[in-house]
Amino acid sequence: MVKIAISMDDAWYSTLNHFTSSMRGCKEHIEFDTILINSEERNPFLKERLEGETVCKNAHSLKILKDLAPEDLFIVIVDGDLYDAHDHEYFYVGSRDYPTISAKYPRVSIFSTYYLNPQSRFTKETKKGEKKKMMSSIQDYKERILVLTLVDIITSELTGLEPHEKTVGCVMDKCIKRSDILNALIPNLHFCDECKEVVLKSSTGNEIMKIIEATSSLLKDIVEENREANKMVQLVAPAIVGRGLEFLFESGREILKARQERRNAEMTKSAVPPSAPAAVPPLVPPSVSPSAPSSVPPSVMPSKNKEIVNAVNSKDDPRLQYVRSSLTKMQERKIEHDVQLMDQYVQDFQITQLQLAHFGPGTEPLQLVNQKNELEERVETTMRDLQETLSAVYNVTINIPELV
């Protein structure tokens, strides 16, 4: 059994989940998994420019840290400019590309989403005036480019096939020109006769063919979803909006509030000499004071926020109808994505809290404390996103004091 592990990335959460769950039919010999990477582990991959060979070595260290076997394939998604001595800006590189390290650091690949960056050569070479158009079409195609590239990486790694220069409508077309890339995104993926022969002779040939089949139908779904994305949703039950609000105003907010209280307490502790605690003024503005009640009563919530919560709580409220008619499919998907993330983070946060509760003050293991801090950061980022989308849905500015 070979495992294909892909680093989980908040920006690609839905697409990666969609991709790995589409591959269930290939379970016999290949297992798909996504791997969460914390911010410390992510550090080596955050640079603006990433040298291919070095970043493959870094990915291999992480592969070992995550207990993956040598034959498992580990794919790390980055967003920096992936380059090496011969060229720069690759969609992907793998340790296979570097003969001097391939044996020692086997089966790691790096996929870069730098093509979405306006500085990317991919858009820089676009004729004047076309850049904006090109960027927006790439944005539309980004999920498909990710899926297709993952399939390219997996096929290359498991069969040894190399992409071919000639564009013949095959999965392994190198696709150097933009037009080739866009043409390659058609849902009916297939191999040319030569590549097919190599694939079928390989030990995982049948699985690769299943992966191609599953990817074709996944690409069709994505095309359909994108087509629907900007249409208005007419009669959608806004349950997902309610869940987004719930995370924003309740569980997510509680986490941030507790963090703020903890930080304030720490600041007070370090700023105040033990002999004169009363002389120090409060360190935070009264609106976010640590002495505020842990659950803010609706009366002190900004009035627009209160209206929104009421609108969702009352089925007959006309503002609910307003949300129904103004929520776009795209906004619905964004909220859904953030709600999924929040679900996970809040759950993980609660587990971490329970684990930390076993230790007395000052004796908590550093790893657990870091994990908690990391989850708080992720909750904050996701809540900012939710705040922005829900503000657009309701056409008001939603203010969460902890996010100011």
Nearer to Zn ion, 77 or 170 (CB): 170
User: Judged by CB under 5 A, which stretch of 107-115, 190-198, 255-263, 306-314 contacts Zn ion?
Assistant: 190-198
Q: Is 56 in the site for Zn ion (CB under 5 A)?
A: no
CB of 323 to Zn ion, least distance (A): 49
**Using CA atoms, how far apart are residues 124 and 261, in angstroms rounded to an integer?**
47
Span from 7-15, 38-46, 164-172, 242-250 in contact with Zn ion (CB under 5 A)? 164-172
* Residue 192 touches Zn ion, criterion: CB under 5 A: yes
Contact flag: residue 241 with Zn ion (CB under 5 A) = no
Is 209 a residue that touches Zn ion (CB under 5 A)?
no
Using the rule CB under 5 A, give the single segment among 62-70, 170-178, 247-255, 360-368 that binds Zn ion: 170-178
Q: What are phi and psi of 376, to 5 degrees?
A: -60, -40
Q: Compute how many other C-beta atoms are within 10 angstroms of the C-beta atom of residue 388.
A: 14
CB of 85 vs Zn ion, minimal distance in Å:
27
Contact segment (CB under 5 A) with Zn ion among 165-173, 278-286, 306-314, 392-400 equals 165-173
Candidates 55, 172, 175, 309; binder of Zn ion (CB under 5 A) is 172
Among 170, 327, 339, 383, binds Zn ion (CB under 5 A): 170
Residue 195 binds Zn ion (CB under 5 A) = yes
Residues 328-367 that bind Zn ion (CB under 5 A): none
Alpha-carbon distance 245 to 171, whole Å?
Answer: 43
**Nearest-approach distance from CB 200 to Zn ion, in angstroms:** 13
How far apart are CB 192 and Zn ion at their closest, in Å? 4
Min dist CB 60 to Zn ion, Å, is 29
Of 141 and 191, the one with the shorter C-beta distance to Zn ion is 191
Cβ closest to Zn ion, residue 18 vs residue 190:
190
State which residue, 147 or 195, has the beta carbon closest to Zn ion: 195
- H, E, C per residue of the chain: CEEEEEECCHHHHHHHHHHHHHHHHHCCCEEEEEECCCHHHHHHHCCCEEEHHHHHHHHHHHHHHCCCCCCCEEEEEECCEEECCCCECCCEEEHHHCCCCCCCCCCEEEEECHHHCCCCHHHHCCCCCCHHHHHHHHHHHHHHHHHHHHHHHHHHHHHCCCCECCCCCCCCECCCCHHHHHHHCCCCCCCCHHHHHHHHHCCCHHHHHHHHHHHHHHHHHHHHHHHHHCCECCCCCCHHHHHHHHHHHHHHHHHHHHHHHHHHHHHHHHHCCCCCHHHCCCCCCHHHCCCCCCCCCHHHCCHHHHHHHHHHHCCCCHHHHHHHHHCEHHHHHHHHHHHHHHHHHHHHHHHHHHHHCCCCCCCCCHHHHHHHHHHHHHHHHHHHHHHHHHHHHHCCCCCCHHHC
Footprint on residues 299-328 left by Zn ion (CB under 5 A): none
The smaller minimum CB distance to Zn ion, of residues 168 and 232, is found at: 168
> Is residue 219 a contact residue for Zn ion (CB under 5 A)?
no
Provide the minimum distance between the beta carbon of 212 and Zn ion in the complex, in angstroms, as a whole number: 12
Q: Could you tell me the smallest distance in angstroms from the CB atom of residue 162 to Zn ion?
A: 10
Q: Which residues contact Zn ion (rule: CB under 5 A)? A: 170, 172, 192, 195
